[in-house]
Structure formats: structure tokens, C-alpha cells
Amino acid sequence: ELGKVGDGLELPVFAIGGFARDLLLGGKNDDIDITVEGDGILFAETFAATHECRVKSHAKFGTAVIVLPDGFKIDVASTRLEFYETPGALPTVERSSLKMDLYRRDFTINTLAIQLNPANFGLLIDYFGAYRDLRDKVIRVLHNLSFVEDPTRVFRAVRFEQRLGFQIARHTDNLIRNAVKMGFLDKLGGRRLLNELVIILREREPVRAILRMESLGLLGFIHPDLTLETENLRVLDEVKKVVTWFELLYQRDQVETWVVYFLALTSLLADAAFFEMCTRLSVSEHYREKLIDMRVHGEQMLAVMERKVAGKKPVLRSNIYFWLRGLSPEVLLYIMAKTCRDEVRKFVSLYVTQLREVTCMLTGDDLKAIGLPPGPRYREILDAVLSARLNGEVSTREEESRFVKQ
């Protein structure tokens, strides 16, 4: 359908980038990127008008997003047309503009284009050896200045290498090491660095990518004190296990897994260094406070629970509930990963799987009905009822009422 609209406007249309790459690799990619040789906005608007879709255009960039009725999005870009005096040789001119467009990309494996116009449907256009590198499982830049031009590509290289199980080509590896040595990564803005880091931590196997970043000397650009030691590496490996466990159990609970990995990766940083790192990464003040809060509360509760376990005194279910109430799933998972004590891990898993759902049946209205004057005492009483319920001392509404009257 996209190709037909292209034909109607006499515009060559291509699927490019990650979509073409993943198609060849046999994987799936839900983002479709289209490049139109010519006016991509005209193309997107024509397509939308004839297919009951919405379209959002950005005239300044020559890009548009087509939104299908089911919400599916197609990104449309325009190649910059170059007008040469070459009458009768239009195809060469048009092709060269696609080629220029692809040349600006990060790695050869992202430079494939698949034509969508019906007459040439499926035609694979491969100017830079993408097919060969996909076959050989290699990440390779297109030219020597690639990382100088855009240092985020260093992190993108690691991400694709680990995600696809590829290998960064030797020369590309040397270019990265050189960019690191020459300090080009210092020029990378905090926002962009944070963005790349978050994307890496959202991958399925971030630990391998972190190890690779360490081996290329990239962690120091996040903060000079950030290193991989036996301890934070252990925690990172544990995060993988607990995140898998949690996602399996609670598919609908939203948990920002990157935050858990982030807390684990930076767990050995001193508070001051953590703060500096947030500044380097241009984390907003609001979010920085949130991260610091997670870190501090996580450590506090971890210490409390480890002390209790060492003390050998019995731990009640209500104790666990009130220690962990109010902590986000990210912090709970961080505690599970960080602790070396099985008992503490069991406390958190008991809380996550059972205790956090428990509520008492009595409400403030019931307390009012039995003549208690409203005030902060209500919270204390209801918490006491909840404790009794958690510890199995009451199980019905009547028992709860009797408990209050005592």
C-alpha cells in the first residue's frame, strides 16, 4: 500500500534502518521507518488521506508520522533532493540522494533499504556492505570520523553488538578506543549520554553491555569513580534474576527495570559521587531526588532487615509489611538483588507476592460509628488492625471490630 501511494506520486519509497535490518535477521521490529526520495510529507499526507490514518508532519525536518487506526506508527523521512544538471539521468540523481542519506547513518548494518514501490517491491539496496556485515555479524562504522561526528554512536555500537550477538569490527573498535583516549566523549551532552545509558539498561541483557562498556573504558565518562567491582557485578547479575522473576509473576505491573540496573551499577558510588554523576547526566532535579531517595531508602531497609535476621528474634509478617510499605517495586527488586542473605530475599518476596495486597476490612467510618473522635489516632488504630490481620490474629470483620474495642 505504501509503495502504491509512492507510485501515484511518482516517488520511490523505501523501508530502511532497523526495520530492514531486523527483517533480514529474521527478527521483528515494530517501528517502520520509511524514506521517500522526494517530498516525504506530501507522501505521508496523501497516504493518510486515502487510508483513514492520521498524520503529524514536521515541515522543518521534512518528516512525518503516519498513525494507523490501531495506533501503529510509521515514521516517514525525506531524502534531501540534490538537483544536478543531468537531464535524462534522473534515477542516478535520485539514487545518489538515498545513498547520501544512508551514508549519514551510524553503522553499515543500518544502511539497508528495501524498495516498496510495486514494480521493484522487495528490491534490496545495499550501498555499504550491510548484507555482508549482517551475515558476518559485524558492527562497522561507515567512515573514520563517525564517532567524532557523534559520540553517542560509541554506546549504540555496544548496544547493537550485545543485543544482536555481533562483534564490533577491529577497525571500528580502534576508532572507539581512540575516541575515548582523545576525550571526544567528554563533549557528549549529559542528556544524550543519559538517554543512551537508559536505552542500554532497558535491553534484555544489559549486564553484558555494561561489561563491554567497562572494557572499552566508557564507564569513566559517566563518572570517574564508576567502576565494575566484584560486588556491583554480583548485584547486577542478581538484578537480572530478580527482574526475570518479577516480570514472569507480574506481567501487568509496570517496573522500570533500567532503574534497578542503574541503582545496582552505581551502588558502590559514594553519595557525593552519585550526586555529581546525576549532574553530569543532566538528570532533572526532581528525578535526581527520586533516585537518591530510592538509593537511601533501599540501603536503610536493607540494613534494618539484615540486622533483624542476624539478631535471631522472630520476624513477624507485620514487621516485613511496615518495613517495605511505600517502597517502589524498583527499590524492592534492588534490595532483593543486593542482599547476601536468603532470609531477607524471602522477606521481600513474601511482601511482593502476598503481604502488599493485604488490607483490613474496617475503615475510618467504622471507627466513627463506634464513637472514636476522628484524628491521627485513626491511622494508628487501622495499622494495628492491619498488623493483627497480617499476623493471623484476626481474619473476619467481627474479629477486627472486637480487636479495636479491646
Residues within the interface to ligand ATP (CB under 6 A): 17-18, 29, 31, 105-106, 110, 150, 152-153, 156
Least gap, CB of 118 to ligand ATP (angstroms):
25
CB nearer to ligand ATP: pick between 137 and 377: 137
Residue nearest to ligand ATP (CB): 18
Nearest to residue 33, comparing CAs of 77, 2, 1, 69?
A: 77
Least gap, CB of 254 to ligand ATP (angstroms):
20
The CA-atom distances, in angstroms, between 283 and each of 108, 191, 207 are 32, 7, 22
- By DSSP bridging, strand 32-36 and strand 73-78 are parallel
Contact criterion met (CB below 8 Å) for 128 and 107? no
Least gap, CB of 112 to ligand ATP (angstroms):
9
Q: What are phi and psi of 170, to 5 degrees?
A: -55, -45
CB nearer to ligand ATP: pick between 156 and 308: 156
CB nearer to ligand ATP: pick between 143 and 325: 143
Least gap, CB of 24 to ligand ATP (angstroms):
12
Nearest to residue 166, comparing CAs of 112, 108, 124?
A: 108
Which grid coordinates belong to 379? Answer: 491511622
Q: How far apart are CA 68 and CA 330, in angstroms?
A: 34
Least gap, CB of 77 to ligand ATP (angstroms):
9
Nearest to residue 12, comparing CAs of 148, 153, 121?
A: 121
Strands (E), 220-285: none
Which grid coordinates belong to 58? Answer: 514536521
Least gap, CB of 374 to ligand ATP (angstroms):
54
Nearest to residue 328, comparing CAs of 295, 286, 362, 358?
A: 295
Least gap, CB of 156 to ligand ATP (angstroms):
6
CB nearer to ligand ATP: pick between 12 and 17: 17
CB nearer to ligand ATP: pick between 68 and 188: 188
Q: How many CB atoms lie within 10 A of CB 58?
A: 12
CB nearer to ligand ATP: pick between 28 and 312: 28
CB nearer to ligand ATP: pick between 115 and 387: 115
